[in-house]
Amino acid sequence: MLLLLINTGLVIFLLMQRNRSHAHHTASRHQDAFDRMALTLQYTEAQKEQHRALRKDHMDRMLPLYDSIRQAKVLLYSRTSIVEESDSIFINYMAKINAWQTRINQSNYAYYKKVRALLTPEQQPRYDSLLIRMIERGRRDSSQRR
């Protein structure tokens, strides 16, 4: 029991440290991406403000879901020596992670549609292309593996 408490405390500490060390970098990276998008799509000032408001609301709803997934994975993976795939603990964690990921995917899709609705008909094709590039960024087709 004591070992479980120590492990749980360590996991919480590591999560808190990770969140603290990545906070500035992530915010800066997201701002750079937003600025590039605004420049590429030639946003008006009104569109920038509307998109910023949508993005803030979206991220306020998404970050707790990402945190929940991360914490569930840490707790699950820290128990690999005692939990089998057939255990109810494993099944429960996987169901939670899948449900959170589904909510994230649905929310992202709705967010992208809302952003697209802010754009003029001339901007929309560029947005569609940019969105696909963002989704595919840095990813290679699995068939291209060495």
In the predicted structure, residue 25 carries a pLDDT above the cut 70: no
pLDDT in tens, 47-102: 999 999 999 999 999 999 999 999 999 988 888 888 677 788 888 989 999 999 99
Structure tokens at 10: 């360590």
Domain boundaries defined on the chain: 58-132
pLDDT category of residue 144 using cuts at 50, 70 and 90: low
Q: How far is CA 77 from the centre of its chain?
A: 20
Euclidean distance between the first and final Cα of the chain, in Å?
45
Q: What pTM value is reported for the model?
A: 0.70
Q: How far is 43 from 48, CA to CA, in rounded Å? A: 6
Does residue 23 register a pLDDT over 60?
Answer: no
Range from 11-20, 81-90, 108-117, 132-141 carrying the lowest mean pLDDT:
11-20
